[in-house]
Chains A and B, each alone.
Chain A
């Protein structure tokens, strides 16, 4: 069971956490919403909950709650640039289909 970060993603997360001035790590998760079943959650973490699993990759603490981990296991978080837009991208091997806009997915 593991979640990994690419080097650019790890760098970005560190910078964002530094600028924010507080927070222990990054939360990855899923929500059952959106037009294709589920959508990804990406949040700063100030407090780790008892039901959370904590991974560490490239110096960044990645926090995932156990329920979400089932859907996210094996995911690599990347940071990419598409034209002027830049942001994080979930490379999830379990993802079977995404909706047209790519904001939600099914497994």
Chain B
């Protein structure tokens, strides 16, 4: 007998039509899975009752272990135990070399652009390691929800990613889900998910700060809610600051107290630094920190070898120890506010995410900084997964339709390269997704049969200042005069922020497309600095752009004139006329790369004036040639046939 959950009025599904969906928080340190049952979103525990799954994968001789089972091997078999894999999602080899010093595992030498970690089970990529974590979460969900083991009944999952994840990192996350056999309904920004868990999406418009302090990372996001759309105004943080650093500070205090004040463990100073003792002290430090969230002081007891040491740590001391670290987070908050151009007073809500925000020192200082109450009622470890589960529930249709669907925005503008190394933006930043936009482009030269399409991301005017996402070519359309071909370039960004670009020559129907999967990505600081540069250089960029446009125009005019002169220059022009045109042409030719756009403009203008008669004569002669052997009636016939066909088409609509 299957177990039944309570549904919303009128939303009962019939047998075998349950639409079960989960929310997954795929974290750097810990991962969670949550689902909505009987109207309530809850995270799901494993059979031992623990909700957090450590994001650790161990490749053992007897198979793959994930979570706590893998944690056991982190000391004994570090080379095959992979931690913090999220940091490498969607990253290229060059990004990795900076970071790998902190990790005990070894990166394999490969020719592929994706870094691979050497393990007992071969070289694994970040996507494969993440897939192992996702598989474990999926198994937990399938067992908890009483589904059959294939998990086919699981309609899908909403997986959360940091707001600053770029296309490559998002795609890598999607790939990992695919590998784990999970259908991704949507990728959702972590701060957005946290805001959803608190029901802020149904609230009024306003600016929300999401303060996410986890085990090893800190993220601050400033979001603006506007008509059900969460717009990410700015992100910031520190990828190497978290609860582990708190523990470390406390451990240092324990060691100092023990050695200097008590004198008891002086003689085992060396032993203190053995890995086992270090871990023991770190564990005690963590336990003390957790106890102090609920009481004013805590007794720390440490037994090293036959030595016993004991001391009291109170809240005031803890505050002194942690203040410098918390101040660091507040500095990042200040930067994020500045980037978003938001005043502290304009923040309506502050959502606290991540286990380390339980520490009272953090809560006090953050509340002081923003000068408002913090949202802390939902377990900060579970809040992101909970929000994702709520969103998943709406996406599979378990909620009445009037429930609003969340939208995200694209963080940086997307566009293509045009002549002169300029960027034509097709989709502007902060446009809500999903979105599809098309723009028509044309050929630059007579007889052009191919066009290179270069897809770019960024806010600057010049190609060289933006990030290249992809290049592809549209080939084989019929040769036409410059400007006659109509090439429609369409940008399509799906709900997860992934981009597909297609190009189609409308006259011939020739098409080409590319799924943008860049080989490595931008970090949040890069996104930040790209945005900042675009603002700082806005004026230069504009001037440079109009100059480049004039230069391109000059080259175009020269080429058009040369090709015209080659065809009929001698037959239509007298010698003196041709000499005059050539002289004026020479002036423009010399100026075509000049840095003064007005000079170029003037030269183009004067060349156009000199050529006026020639252009008129060419037009007449072309019409004459085209109409030779036809009478006016032929064209009239064509016209009426056309309009008849048009009428027919209208009717059949």
A-contacting residues, B136-150, CB 8 Å: 140, 143-146
- A43, B8: Cβ atoms under 8 Å? yes
A-contacting residues, B1-27, CB 8 Å: 1-12, 14-16
B-contacting residues, A16-33, CB 8 Å: 16, 19-20, 26-27, 29, 31, 33
State the CA gap A67–B332 with chains docked (Å): 62
| B476 interface residue (CB < 8 Å to A) | no
- A26, B6: Cβ atoms under 8 Å? yes
- A14: min CB distance to chain B, Å: 12
- 14 CB < 8 A contacts A-B: A16-B38, A16-B39, A31-B14, A41-B12, A43-B7, A43-B10, A44-B39, A45-B9, A47-B9, A82-B3, A83-B143, A88-B4, A90-B1, A90-B4
| A58 interface residue (CB < 8 Å to B) | no
| A39 interface residue (CB < 8 Å to B) | yes
B-contacting residues, A66-100, CB 8 Å: 80, 82-90, 98-99
- A13, B6: Cβ atoms under 8 Å? yes
| B633 interface residue (CB < 8 Å to A) | no
State the CA gap A64–B40 with chains docked (Å): 23
Interfacial chain A residues near B44, Cβ < 8 Å: 84
Given A80-B3, A89-B4, A20-B14 contact (CB < 8 Å): no
Residue of A nearest to B140 (CB): A84
Given A26-B6, A80-B3, A82-B146, A20-B39 contact (CB < 8 Å): yes
| B47 interface residue (CB < 8 Å to A) | yes
Residue of A nearest to B3 (CB): A87
Interfacial chain A residues near B46, Cβ < 8 Å: 84
State the CA gap A101–B7 with chains docked (Å): 19
| Contact pick for B5, options A29, A87, A101, A103, CB 8 Å | A87
Encode B35-50 as 1/0 by CB contact (under 8 A) with A.
Answer: 0011110001111000
- B382: min CB distance to chain A, Å: 15
State the CA gap A101–B39 with chains docked (Å): 23
Interfacial chain B residues near A43, Cβ < 8 Å: 6-12
State the CA gap A45–B12 with chains docked (Å): 12
A-contacting residues, B100-152, CB 8 Å: 140, 143-146
Interfacial chain A residues near B40, Cβ < 8 Å: 16, 19-20
| Contact pick for B16, options A40, A84, A103, CB 8 Å | A103
Residue of A nearest to B146 (CB): A85
Interfacial chain B residues near A47, Cβ < 8 Å: 9
| A2 interface residue (CB < 8 Å to B) | no
**Sample of 10 further A-B pairs with CB below 8 A, known A85-B143, A99-B15:** A16-B38, A20-B39, A31-B12, A41-B7, A41-B12, A47-B9, A82-B146, A84-B144, A89-B3, A101-B16
| A35 interface residue (CB < 8 Å to B) | yes
- B1, A102: Cβ atoms under 8 Å? yes
| Contact pick for B1, options A20, A42, A86, A89, CB 8 Å | A89
A-contacting residues, B34-69, CB 8 Å: 37-40, 44-47
| A4 interface residue (CB < 8 Å to B) | no
State the CA gap A39–B5 with chains docked (Å): 13
- B4, A87: Cβ atoms under 8 Å? yes
A contact residues vs B (CB 8 Å cutoff): 12-13, 16, 19-20, 26-27, 29, 31, 33-35, 39-47, 80, 82-90, 98-99, 101-104
State the CA gap A26–B37 with chains docked (Å): 15
In this complex, how many residues of chain B approach chain A with their Cβ under 8 Å: the count is: 28
- A33, B14: Cβ atoms under 8 Å? yes
Given A42-B7, A84-B44, A101-B2, A35-B16 contact (CB < 8 Å): yes
Residue of A nearest to B12 (CB): A41
Encode B465-492 as 1/0 by CB contact (under 8 A) with A.
Answer: 0000000000000000000000000000
- A44, B1: Cβ atoms under 8 Å? no
| Contact pick for A88, options B6, B10, B45, CB 8 Å | B6
Most chain-A Cβ atoms within 10 A of its Cβ — which of B6, B7, B11, B16? Answer: B6
Residue of B nearest to A98 (CB): B1
- A35, B15: Cβ atoms under 8 Å? yes
Interfacial chain A residues near B9, Cβ < 8 Å: 27, 43-47
Top 8 closest A-B pairs, CB basis? A87-B3, A34-B15, A85-B146, A103-B15, A33-B14, A39-B15, A102-B1, A84-B144
Given A84-B144, A85-B143, A89-B1, A42-B6 contact (CB < 8 Å): yes
State the CA gap A100–B325 with chains docked (Å): 58
State the CA gap A13–B47 with chains docked (Å): 24
Encode B289-332 as 1/0 by CB contact (under 8 A) with A.
Answer: 00000000000000000000000000000000000000000000
Interfacial chain B residues near A42, Cβ < 8 Å: 4-7, 12
- A17: min CB distance to chain B, Å: 9
Residue of A nearest to B145 (CB): A85
- A88, B3: Cβ atoms under 8 Å? yes
State the CA gap A43–B38 with chains docked (Å): 8
- A23: min CB distance to chain B, Å: 8
- B190: min CB distance to chain A, Å: 24
State the CA gap A44–B144 with chains docked (Å): 22
Interfacial chain B residues near A44, Cβ < 8 Å: 6-9, 39
Residue of A nearest to B148 (CB): A101
- B507: min CB distance to chain A, Å: 54
- A26: min CB distance to chain B, Å: 7
Interfacial chain B residues near A89, Cβ < 8 Å: 1, 3-4
Interfacial chain A residues near B12, Cβ < 8 Å: 29, 31, 41-43
Residue of B nearest to A34 (CB): B15
- A95: min CB distance to chain B, Å: 9
